[in-house]
């Protein structure tokens, strides 16, 4: 019986696993898009399945498109460590040997004294987001002005601004200023989660393998029960048929005896 259900379980596993295959994403540590000169960043290709053949690539204003390990970066498997200089500013992504691409990340290397720290990857609507205005040498808890699309939106004495639940309206170009300088501008992308449509027949579609297994497991018992019921009905019918015949024969015998006595 376990062998009967096994093919359905394997088929379901293959279907669900196949839906999650083939994706790749670029992660960055530390998770921000702006860096000071000579800071180190680690870029990693996160692949669902085998990451062999994936490499970190970039496109800069000065160097064009190139792979990690050539004139820049130190490759380590599907990751790349980079000691940054201003010419490393550009777009970074992961690419496979067959030409598949991951998401892209913009990195800005600033030779000045102030940067704006924000998540490097797009944030999802509803996320908790923190923006920090950071000076190269002094503590980060400085009074900072935060701007969005060129307009002052908030002044914070802690040097950071939080958005408890980011929305699509928060998407835009941000920068910060302190008394000792100004950060480069940085675009923050806000994505809206795509609702998952309900299946046409949710209960049946989800429980079909289990339903088939149950039917296959239960059918022998059901078949035996039907056979026993049929046999029982036949035996009862045969018993009811024999009783009237025996009674009829007795009546005939009594009649014959009576006639003999009279004669």
CATH numbers and ranges of domains, the chain? 25-111 (2.60.40.10), 112-193 (2.60.40.10)
- Cβ neighbors of 117 (< 8 A, separation 6 or more) are 32, 34, 131, 132, 133, 134
pLDDT of residue 63: 75
Band (pLDDT 50/70/90 cuts) for residue 203 is: very low
Share of the chain above pLDDT 90, in %: 52
Q: Please, are residues 32 and 119 in contact by the beta-carbon 8 Å criterion?
A: yes
pLDDT at 215 over 70: no
Position with higher pLDDT, 241 vs 121:
121
Is the confidence at residue 29, as pLDDT, over 50? yes
Element (H or E) spanning 2, and its range? helix 2-19
Taking all residues of the chain, what is their mean pLDDT, rounded to a whole number? 77
- Give the residue among 40, 42, 82 at the shortest CA–CA distance from 60: 82
pLDDT at 205: 44
pLDDT for position 235: 62
Q: What percent of the chain has pLDDT over 70?
A: 65
pLDDT the model gives residue 227: 61
Least confident of 4-13, 50-59, 216-225: 4-13
Please give the structure tokens belonging to residue 141. Answer: 């808890």
H/E segment holding residue 114: strand 114-117
What's the average model confidence in pLDDT over 214-236? 56
Q: Sign of torsion, CA 160 163 166 170?
A: negative
Q: Is the pLDDT score of 251 beyond 70?
A: no
Q: Is pTM beyond 0.85 here?
A: no
How do residues 121-170 score in pLDDT, each as one tens digit? Answer: 999 999 999 999 999 987 767 899 999 999 999 999 999 999 999 999 99
């Amino acid at each position: 019986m376990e062998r009967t259900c096994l093919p359905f379980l394997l088929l379901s596993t293959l279907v669900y696993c196949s839906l999650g295959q083939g994706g790749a994403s670029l992660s960055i540590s530390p998770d921000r898009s702006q860096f000071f000169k000579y800071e180190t960043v680690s870029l990693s290709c996160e692949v669902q399945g085998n990451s062999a053949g994936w490499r970190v690539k970039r496109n800069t204003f000065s160097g064009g498109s190139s792979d990690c390990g050539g004139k820049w970066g130190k490759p380590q498997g599907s990751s790349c460590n980079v000691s940054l200089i201003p010419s490393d500013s550009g777009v970074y992504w992961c690419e496979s040997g067959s030409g598949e691409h991951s998401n892209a990340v913009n990195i800005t290397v600033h030779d000045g004294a102030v940067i704006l720290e924000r998540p490097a990857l797009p944030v999802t609507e509803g996320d908790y987001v923190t923006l920090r205005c950071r000076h190269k040498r002094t503590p980060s808890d400085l009074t900072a002005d935060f701007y969005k699309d060129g307009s002052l939106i908030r002044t914070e004495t802690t040097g950071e601004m939080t958005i408890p639940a980011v929305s699509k309206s928060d998407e835009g170009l941000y920068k910060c200023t302190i008394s000792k300088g100004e950060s480069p501008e940085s675009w923050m992308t806000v994505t809206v989660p795509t609702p998952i449509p309900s299946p046409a027949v949710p209960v049946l579609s989800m429980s079909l393998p289990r339903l088939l297994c149950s039917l296959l497991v239960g059918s022998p018992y059901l078949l035996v029960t039907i056979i026993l019921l049929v046999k029982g009905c036949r035996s009862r019918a045969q018993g009811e048929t024999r009783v009237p015949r025996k009674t009829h024969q007795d009546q005939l015998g009594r009649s014959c005896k009576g006639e003999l006595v009279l004669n």
